[in-house]
Amino acid sequence: MGREFLNIFDEWADSYDDAVYGKDDQYRKVFEHYDQILHTVANKTRGRTVEFGIGTGNLTFVLLKQGVDVIGVEPNDKMRHIAQNRFPELSILNGDFLTNSITGPIDTITSTYAFHHLTDGEKLQALKQYHPLLSEDGQIVFADTIFEDQSTFEKMIIGAKNEGYNDLAEDLQREYYTTIPKMATLFDQAGYSVSFERLNDFVWLIHAKRK
Ligand SMILES: C[S@@+](CC[C@H](N)C(=O)[O-])C[C@H]1O[C@@H](n2cnc3c(N)ncnc32)[C@H](O)[C@@H]1O
């Protein structure tokens, strides 16, 4: 479940790092301040940490540099091999947000640019699944594309089309991007208090603690 977009990363794996560092016009705004976003997430991360959807390992790199005890989880074979070659010593599991062999206690669950691969129903399921695995002061620190409300979301799709960014417009309509009010409800229903902080025009920091 939540694995329906994995084939996109078979194609994207080799050029993914070019996109995050501004070489793909369509995604320039999505990845604006990418390194700063990774550092914002890493600076909030502490203790035994699980990172989902590590991709080529860019957040992982920052976490390891900061001495964080991290376990990576990545379902796409190509992405996982890139990351494993980059960090031969690191434990990187073949799993996803919902199906994995992670056991608690975990102090931080983190992820960047990946939680939108789950439907809102699956997001709720994942958040409920993590609750008993988190230590008493455990936390979730995500950065992902999310919109203030439905009308902002629709304007971003129209904006992408007007710019001729058809891949981006298609992506925004294909994957499971959600809105802040909906995400806040999901965290509340799963037993967390949550806060949001804007990191660029598309991406917000989502920081949650067990209630
Ligand atoms: C846009 S990339 C983000 C990579 C990296 N976290 C970053 O910030 O650059 C999304 C990653 O999420 C992974 N992914 C896709 N579906 C997933 C799922 N259901 N559970 C966990 N990871 C998933 C993809 O394989 C890909 O590596």
CA 31, CA 58: separation in Å to the nearest integer? 13
pLDDT digits (tens, 9 = 90+) for 143-193: 999 999 999 999 999 999 999 999 999 999 999 999 999 999 999 999 999
Residue 72 — pLDDT band, cuts 50, 70, 90?
A: very high
Sequence-distant (≥ 6) Cβ neighbours of residue 201 within 8 angstroms: 29, 32, 156
Q: Residues 206, 140: contact at Cβ < 8 Å?
A: yes
Q: Is any atom of ligand 1 closer than 6 Å to the C-beta of 113?
A: yes
Report the nearest-CA residue for atom 23 of ligand 1: 53
Centre of ligand 1 to C-alpha 53, Å, is 4
Q: How many domains does the chain have?
A: 1
> 1 pLDDT exceeds 80?
no
Residue 77 has pLDDT above 80, yes or no: yes
At 81-112, the pLDDT tens digits run 999 999 999 999 999 999 999 999 999 999 99
pLDDT at 3: 87
Ligand 1 pocket mutation pick from 1, 45, 96, 109 by most atoms within 8 angstroms of CB:
96
CATH label of the domain that carries residue 188:
3.40.50.150
Could you tell which of 5, 31, 60, 94 is best to mutate to test the pocket of ligand 1, judged by most ligand atoms within 8 Å of the CB? 5
- The per-residue pLDDT of the chain, averaged, comes to 97
Q: Which residues contact 41 (CB under 8 A, 6 or more apart)?
A: 59, 62, 110, 112, 141, 142, 143, 205
Cβ–ligand 1 distance for 54 under 6 Å, the answer yes
Assign 197 a pLDDT band (cuts: 50, 70, 90): very high
Closest of 73, 83, 141 to residue 110, by C-alpha: 141
Residue 2 has a pLDDT of 79
Confirm or deny that 74 is annotated as ligand binding: yes
Q: Whose CA is nearest to atom 26 of ligand 1?
A: 55
- In this prediction the pTM is 0.97
Q: 6-40 pLDDT, tens per residue?
A: 989 998 999 999 999 999 999 999 999 999 999 99
Rounded CA-CA distance 4/137 in Å is 33
Half-sphere exposure of 203 (CA within 13 A, CB side): 27
- For residue 170, give its domain range: 5-210
